[in-house]
Copies of this chain bind each other. A is one copy, B any other.
Amino acid sequence: MLAPDGTRRPCPDLDRWVADVTPEQLRLMHRDMIATRRIDREGVALQRQGELGLWAPAEGQEGVQIGTAHALRRDDFAFISYREHGVAYARGAQPGDFVSIWRAEEHSSYDPYAIGVSNPQIIIGAQTLHAVGYAMGIQRDALHAAPGTRADQAAVSYFGDGASSQGDVHEAMVFAASFGAPVVFVCSNNQWAISEPVALQSRTPIVRRAAGYGMAARRIDGNDPFVCLAAMREALQRARTGGGPSLIEAVTYRIGPHTTSDDPTRYRSEAEVDAWRRRDPIARLEAYLRSMGELSDAQAQDAAALGERVATEMRAACLSMVTKAPLAIFDHVYAQPHSGIAREREQYRAYLRGFDDAE
C-alpha cells in the first residue's frame, strides 16, 4: 500500500478497508509508532544503565504493532507476547507499565481488562489458545446479548515466526477454525527467533498454514502500517460478521537484538540489518504523510515531544519503583483463602521478625 519510500500504491484487495481513513488517524498512528520506538530506546538505555534486567526491543516492528492495533475497537481483546509493547501502548498502557516486568518488580503491570490487552506472554505461542478461548466466549455472550448491545467483539493473538512451530499455535488454529471463532492471528514474522532464521521453522511462507485449516489469510508487508491497518480491519470485520478466524502474516524485521542479552552479530550480518533499516515503517508513514502535506514540522515535533514525554515518564516511573514488601510475594497465589499459603506467610513473617528483633 505504501512503498518503502512512502508513495501510495494501489492495493485493489485492501484499499476499500482504508478508504475512510483520515489523515488525522494516520497522524495518530504515526505518533504511536514514534512513541513505541522511543519507549524501546528508553528501555534499552535503562537496561544498559542497570535499571532493567532485560529489554526485548520491538524496533522495526512498529508498523505491524501500531497498524493492527489501530484497527481494534476498545472492546476487542488482544493477547500479546513479550515483544508487543507497541500494541499495549496503543491500547492505553501507561509508561510505567513497560518497565515493571523487565525490572522484575512484577510479572505483569496493567489491568488486562482496563485496556483489553493480556499480560505479555513469555511461553512461546501459549497465548494463541487463550485468544481463541476468549473468542469462543464472545460467541457465547452473543447468544444472550441484550438487544441493542454490541456483541461483535473480536479477539486477536500476536505471535512470532518462531512461535509458529509450537503445537499450541496449531491447536489454536484447529480450535478457531472448528468453532469459527472471531479471532485474528497476527504472526509478526520478523525473520528471526533469537538466532534461528525463519527458514528453520518453515520452508514456505507461514501464511500458507491458514489454508490447511480452511482459514482466510493474508501475507502483508509488516513494515507498511497502512496495509497492516487495512488487513486487520478486513480480518476483524470477518470475525465480527461470523466469517470466522483469519491469519495475517506480517513480514517485518527485528532491527535490534532478540533482547538486550543477545548478541546478533553472532548470527546475522550488518548488511542484512541495514537493508531492513531502509524499509523503516515510521519513515515510510512519515514520508507518505509529508508527501500528502499532512504532516507539518510542528506536528512532527509534537509527535516527537510526546514520545519524549512518554520516555521521560517511563524513566521516572522506573527509577521511582519501590520493590514490594517481602510478604507481598504470598499475595494472589490463590483467589480464595488457602490454609497452606496462610501458614507459610505466617512462618515467613515470624522468620523476618527475627531480624527486626536482632537489630
Q: Which residue of B lies closest to A196 (CB)?
A: B178
A166 proximity list for chain B (CB < 8 A): 167, 171
Q: How many residues of A contact B (CB 8 A)?
A: 24
Which secondary structure dominates where chain A touches chain B? helix
Complex CA gap A170/B201 in Å reads 12
- Is the CB–CB distance between B213 and A203 below 8 Å? yes
A316 proximity list for chain B (CB < 8 A): none
Q: Which residue of B lies closest to A209 (CB)?
A: B212
A201 proximity list for chain B (CB < 8 A): 174, 178
Q: Which of B165, B174, B202 lies in contact with A171, CB distance below 8 A?
A: B165
A202 proximity list for chain B (CB < 8 A): 174, 177-178, 213-214
Complex CA gap A156/B166 in Å reads 22
Q: Does A265 contact B (CB under 8 A)?
A: no
Q: Does A200 contact B (CB under 8 A)?
A: yes
A206 proximity list for chain B (CB < 8 A): 212
Q: Which of B164, B168, B214 lies in contact with A204, CB distance below 8 A?
A: B214
Given contacts A165-B174, A201-B178, A202-B177, contact A211 B211 (CB under 8 A): yes
- Is the CB–CB distance between A211 and B213 below 8 Å? no
Q: Mark A153-175, 1 if CB is under 8 A from B, else 0.
A: 00000000000111111110010
A178 proximity list for chain B (CB < 8 A): 200-203
Q: Does A208 contact B (CB under 8 A)?
A: yes
Interface hits, A10-30 → B, CB 8 Å: none
A169 proximity list for chain B (CB < 8 A): 170
Complex CA gap A166/B165 in Å reads 13
Given contacts A166-B167, A166-B171, A170-B170, contact A211 B204 (CB under 8 A): yes
A164 proximity list for chain B (CB < 8 A): 174
Complex CA gap A168/B174 in Å reads 13
Q: Does A310 contact B (CB under 8 A)?
A: no
Give the Cβ gap from A167 to chain B, nearest Cβ, in Å.
2
A214 proximity list for chain B (CB < 8 A): 202-204, 208
- Is the CB–CB distance between B208 and A212 below 8 Å? yes
Q: Mark A202-223, 1 if CB is under 8 A from B, else 0.
A: 1110101111111000000000
Most buried by B among A170, A210, A211, A212: A212
Give the Cβ gap from A303 to chain B, nearest Cβ, in Å.
40
Other A-B pairs, 19, CB within 8 Å; known A166-B171, A178-B203, A202-B214 = A165-B174, A167-B167, A167-B168, A167-B171, A170-B170, A177-B204, A178-B202, A202-B213, A203-B213, A204-B211, A204-B212, A204-B213, A208-B212, A208-B214, A209-B209, A209-B213, A211-B211, A211-B212, A212-B212
Residues of A participating in the B interface, judged by any CB pair closer than 8 Å: 164-171, 174, 177-178, 200-204, 206, 208-214
The 5 closest A-B pairs by CB, nearest first: A167-B167, A204-B214, A170-B170, A209-B212, A203-B214
Interface CB pairs A-B, < 8 A, 22:
A165-B171, A165-B174, A166-B167, A166-B171, A167-B168, A167-B171, A170-B170, A170-B171, A174-B202, A178-B200, A178-B202, A202-B213, A203-B213, A204-B211, A204-B212, A204-B214, A206-B212, A208-B211, A208-B214, A209-B212, A209-B213, A210-B212
